[in-house]
Structure 1
C-alpha cells in the first residue's frame, strides 16, 4: 500500500519531505563539486540537481575543513550512495568511521534545485 503525503505529514514530516517520500525515494548516482561550493547531483530518476552547501559549511562544525575549496572538491559517493567527504584523505573512513562526514540522499534531493531551474521537490 502506497503512503501518501497526508500519511507522512501525520508522522511529523514537513511538507517538502512528505511530498518527497510520497513520490518515492531517489538514489544519488553521481556527484560533482563546483567552485561556488555547490554540488551537481545525478539521481536514478534521470534528474540532475544542484545542492548549495554554503549554508552548512561553517567554522566550528564538522564541515569546517570543507570551507577550503581543495578539500570541498574531494567529495564522493560512499557505498550507501550518500554524498561524503573524508576529513583526512590519508585515513580509511571504512576503518575509522569518525573520519567521514556525509549527507543524507533524501535531504540532498529535497534541499537541491533542478539544474537550470527553480526549486521543485517531488
Structure 2
C-alpha cells in the first residue's frame, strides 16, 4: 500500500502540491485530466481550488477525486526551495 495524502495545496498551473503520510511532498499534474468528463469543470480556477484532503486521498466540491495510489505513483517529488549561501 502506498502512502496516503495528508494535505493538498492547489497551484495556479493546475498542479497539486501533496503531502503524504510518509512525509514526502510531491507534485501531481491535473492538466492531462481537465478535458475528460467530470474533470472539465475543474478548468474553472475557483472549482480547482476547492480541493481538500479526503479519506487519504483528495476530493473537490463536486465529488471529483483520484485514487490515492494514482496520486502517489503519477506525482513527482516537489522541488526543494533554493538555499542561499550565507
- TM-score category by the smaller chain? 0.7 to 0.9
- Secondary structure, aligned partner of 1:31: strand
What is the aligned partner in structure 2 of residue 9 from structure 1? none
What is the aligned partner in structure 2 of residue 43 from structure 1? 20
What is the aligned partner in structure 2 of residue 81 from structure 1? 56
What is the aligned partner in structure 2 of residue 30 from structure 1? 7
Runs of 4+ with >6 A deviation: none
- 1:36 & 1:108 partners in 2: Cα distance? 17
State the shift of 1:82 in Å.
1.6
Q: Which has the higher helix share?
A: 1
- 2:2 & 2:13 partners in 1: Cα distance? 27
Root mean square deviation of aligned Cα: 1.4
- Gaps spanning 5+ residues in structure 1: where? 1-23, 88-99, 118-122
Larger radius of gyration: 1
Q: Does 1:104 align with 2:56?
A: no
TM superposition score normalised by structure 1: 0.62
State the shift of 1:27 in Å.
1.2
Q: Which has the higher strand share?
A: 2
- Gaps spanning 5+ residues in structure 2: where? 81-86
Q: Deviations along 1:6-60, whole A, 9 cap, x unmatched?
A: xxxxxxxxxxxxxxxxxx42011100000000000001111100000000011x5
Provide the aligned length of Structure 1 versus Structure 2.
80
State the shift of 1:101 in Å.
1.3
